[in-house]
Structure 1
Amino acid sequence: MSARTDQDSPWKEILRQYFPEAIAFFFPELHRLIDWSKPIEFLDKEFQQIAPDTETGKRYADLLVKVWRKRGKELFLLLHVEVQAKPEANFAERMFVYALRIFDRFRQPAVSLAILCDSRIEWRPNRYEFSYPGTQLLFQFDTVKLLDYAEQWQGLEASPNPFATVVMAHLKAQETKRNATQRKEWKLSLIRRLYEAGYSRREVLNLFKFIDWVMILPEGVKQAFWLELKAYEEERKVPYITSVEEIGFERGVQQGRQEGRQEERQSLTLLLLEQKVGQLSPSLHDRISQLSPTQLEALAIALLNFSRLAELETWLETYQGNL
C-alpha cells in the first residue's frame, strides 16, 4: 500500500475545522467546562515561539488554543496528536517541556491533552516524573487511544459528531493495511455514511478530505473507487465530491502547473473565489496575486470549502506565511 508524505497529514486542519466537536468527542468533561459561545483563539505564532523545534512535516500535530471557562477565566489547551506508527520514547518528556514553556510564556498552566493514533495497544504515556533526594516531580496529562474505539463501533456509527467519522476512517485504515480491496469497500461505506447522515456539502467535503488521505488506495483500485463513488452520487443526485466543477478545476490547476501559466491560474482562482464568497476587495486581489504557485494550488483546493469571505481571510492569515 502506498504511503502519504508527512506533509499531507490533515489532522491539524480537521481539528481546526471542528475543534469544539473534537473536545466534546475525546474529552467530554473538559468540553463541559468551556464557554463555547466565546471565540476560540488558535495561538499558532505563539506556539512556534515556544516550541521552535517542532518541524513541519513530522507525524504529529500540535495546537495551542485559548478558550474561556464558563466562569469567565481564560484557559490554555495544548492538544497534541501523535500520528506516527511507532511510539516515541521521549513523548512524555516532550509534553512536559511544552507545558513548561507555555507556563513560562503566559504564566498560566495549560491543559495538556494527547490523541494517540499508533497501533501499539500497550503504549499509553500519560506522565513524566523524576525523583531525587529533596526534589520530586510528577506531571500528568490526559490521553485517548484511538484503538480503544474499535470495541465501540456501533456507538461510532450512531454518533453525529464528525470525529466519529475521523476515528472510523483511522481504524479501518489500520485494519485494511494489507487489503486494498477491503479498504476500498470501507472507504466507500464511510463516504456513503456522510450522505446518509445528512451532512451538508461542506461537511462532506471536509470529512472526505480526511478519509481520502488516511485510506489511500493504489492506482488500480483507486480508479474503481472513483467509478463507484460517481455512480453512487449520480444515483442520489448529490455530486458533492465528483462534481464537474471540482474535477474541471483540478484538471485546470494541473494543466496550469504543467504549462507554467501562473496568470491563468490566478484568474481562475479569483473567479471561483468570487463565486464562492462574493466580490473581493482590491487588497485581497493584491494578496492573492502575490501567492507563489505552491500557495495558489493550496488555495485552489481550500476554496472548495469556503462559503464566507471571512474564511478566505482566515486562510490567508493562517497559511500564506507558512507555505
Structure 2
Amino acid sequence: MSELTKRSVPFKKSDELLKAIFEENFPDFLRFMYPEADTMFDFEKGLTFMDKELLEIMPDRERKKGRRIADLLVKVYLKDGTQKWILAHTEIEGGNDDGFPYRMFQYHYRLLDRYRVPVETIAVFTGGQTQGRPGEYGYFVFGTSLTFRYLTYQIFDHQEDELLVMDNIFAYIVLACQKALSENKIAEEELAEQRSTIARALIETNKYSKDRIMSFLVFLKSFLFIRDKDLNSNFDQYIYQVTGGTIQMGVIETIKRQEREKGLQTGLEKGMQTGLEKGKADGKREEAIAIALEFKKMGLPIADIAKGTGLSIEEVEKL
C-alpha cells in the first residue's frame, strides 16, 4: 500500500481561515474582480466589515446547515460622487446547493430594504471544476416577472499559469484554494512543492509588506496542511532562503506568535464570544471542539485554546 493510500483524510478546510484571508485582502479581492477598482472605489476611506449586521438580517441563522460564517458584508465607498457608499455582499460557496440563488436574492432584498442603498452581490465558488455556479434567480407568473443577477467567480475560471502572473495577492489565494482540493489525492511531497511555488510567487512580486507576506504564509501553511514534519521544516528553510534571511521563520513560531496576537484577540475575543459562547449556550459543543482542533493544528498553547473555547485542558489535549 502506498504512502498516499495510507494517509488519513486531512483536516476539514477551515471557514475561519478562508474568511480571515478574504477580509485582510479585500481591496485586492475587489481589484481582482474589477479591473478598474482603483477608479471605482475610494480605498483611502477604508472598509467597514459588517458581520453583525449580516447576521441580523438572517435571523436564527437561516442558512445552509445552520452555520455559515464565510459570508462577508462590507461597506465600500465610491469615487464617482453619485453614491456615498454601497454594500458589497460576498458569499464563499464550496458546495452545490439548489437553494443558493434564492438565498442570494434573500440577502439582497433584505439588505436593500434595511439600508436603502445599492448592494453589489458577489458569489465566489470554491469547489471543484464540475461545481455549479448559478448566477441568477428569477420567476415569471402571468404579468409579473423578476430577474436578479449577481457577479460570480469560480476558482477554476483561471488556470495556474494565469494566476501566477497576475501580481495580485488574491490570485495566490485562489491558487491555494485550487491546490487544497488535491489534498489526499496527491503525495504530500507534491503538495509541498505546490505550496512553495505559491509562496515564491508572492515573495517575488516585491509588492507587499513583510507583514502582509507573513500573514499570507501563515494562511498558506495552515490551509494547505501537510503533516510531514520534514516537509514543513524544508518549507521553513525555503522561505528563509528565498527572502534572503529577511523572514526568519520557523513559520511555526510565526504562526504561534501571530495567532496569539491576532487570532486570540480577534478569533477568540470576537469569534468565540459571538459564535462559540452562543454555540455552547445552544448546546453546540461540537463547534467548540471543531475550532479548538483548528487552533491546535496551528500550534497555539493548549491553555490559551482551553480558555478561549471553554473546553478543559484535558479535553483539548485529547483532540
Question: Against the structure 1 CA distance between its residues 136 and 234, is the aligned structure 2 distance closer, same or farther, given a 3 Å change threshold?
Answer: closer
TM-score normalised per structure 1: 0.70
Number of residue pairs matched? Answer: 260
For 1:110 and 1:176, locate their aligned partners in 2 and report how far apart those are by CA, in whole Å: 36
Q: Deviations over 1:10-68 (max 9, x none)?
A: 12211211111101012335554222221211112111101231569956621111112
Alignment of 1:41 with 2:48, yes or no, is yes
Q: What SS is found at the alignment partner of 1:149?
A: coil
Matched-pair contact (CA < 8 Å) for 2:51–2:73: yes
Amino acid at match of 2:19: K
Matched-pair contact (CA < 8 Å) for 2:169–2:202: no
> How much does 1:197 deviate?
3.1
> Which of the numbers 205, 209, 229 marks the counterpart of 2:235?
229
Task: For 1:194-233, list aligned pairs within 5 A.
Answer: 194-198=202-206, 199-217=208-226, 219=227, 222-233=228-239
Match of 1:294?
none
Amino acid at match of 2:220: I
Aligned-CA RMSD value: 3.0
Amino acid at match of 2:107: Y
Match of 2:300?
none
Task: For 1:51-66, list aligned pairs within 5 A.
Answer: 51-52=58-59, 53=61, 58=67, 61-66=70-75
Amino acid at match of 2:166: S
> How much does 1:69 deviate?
1.6
Task: For 1:108-187, list aligned pairs within 5 A.
Answer: 108-121=117-130, 123-150=132-159, 153-175=160-182, 177-179=184-186, 180-187=188-195
Question: Against the structure 1 CA distance between its residues 6 and 197, is the aligned structure 2 distance closer, same or farther, given a 3 Å change threshold?
Answer: closer
Question: Against the structure 1 CA distance between its residues 54 and 205, is the aligned structure 2 distance closer, same or farther, given a 3 Å change threshold?
Answer: farther
Q: What SS is found at the alignment partner of 1:37?
A: helix
> Which of the numbers 181, 196, 199 marks the counterpart of 1:191?
199
> How much does 1:98 deviate?
0.5
Alignment of 1:88 with 2:49, yes or no, is no
Question: Against the structure 1 CA distance between its residues 145 and 32, is the aligned structure 2 distance closer, same or farther, given a 3 Å change threshold?
Answer: farther
Query: For structure 1, which segment, 7-16 or 39-48, has the greater mean C-alpha deviation from structure 2 after superposition?
Result: 7-16
* Identity, % of aligned positions: 27
> Which of the numbers 240, 251, 263 marks the counterpart of 1:302?
263
Q: Give the gaps of 5 or more residues in structure 1.
A: 251-271, 274-297, 304-311
Q: Deviations over 1:131-166 (max 9, x none)?
A: 11122111110101111112xx33322222111111
Q: What SS is found at the alignment partner of 1:207?
A: helix
Question: Against the structure 1 CA distance between its residues 34 and 244, is the aligned structure 2 distance closer, same or farther, given a 3 Å change threshold?
Answer: closer
> Which of the numbers 62, 69, 86 marks the counterpart of 1:75?
86
For 2:38 and 2:116, locate their aligned partners in 1 and report how far apart those are by CA, in whole Å: 23
For 1:200 and 1:240, locate their aligned partners in 2 and report how far apart those are by CA, in whole Å: 15
> Which of the numbers 16, 22, 33 marks the counterpart of 1:26?
33
Matched-pair contact (CA < 8 Å) for 1:204–1:240: no
Match of 1:285?
none
Question: Against the structure 1 CA distance between its residues 244 and 71, is the aligned structure 2 distance closer, same or farther, given a 3 Å change threshold?
Answer: closer
For 2:221 and 2:252, locate their aligned partners in 1 and report how far apart those are by CA, in whole Å: 19
Q: Deviations over 1:218-264 (max 9, x none)?
A: x3xx21222212332454323443169547xx4xxxxxxxxxxxxxx
Match of 2:273?
321
Match of 1:309?
none
Alignment of 1:17 with 2:17, yes or no, is no
Amino acid at match of 1:80: E
Q: Give the gaps of 5 or more residues in structure 2.
A: 1-7, 277-319
For 2:38 and 2:58, locate their aligned partners in 1 and report how far apart those are by CA, in whole Å: 26
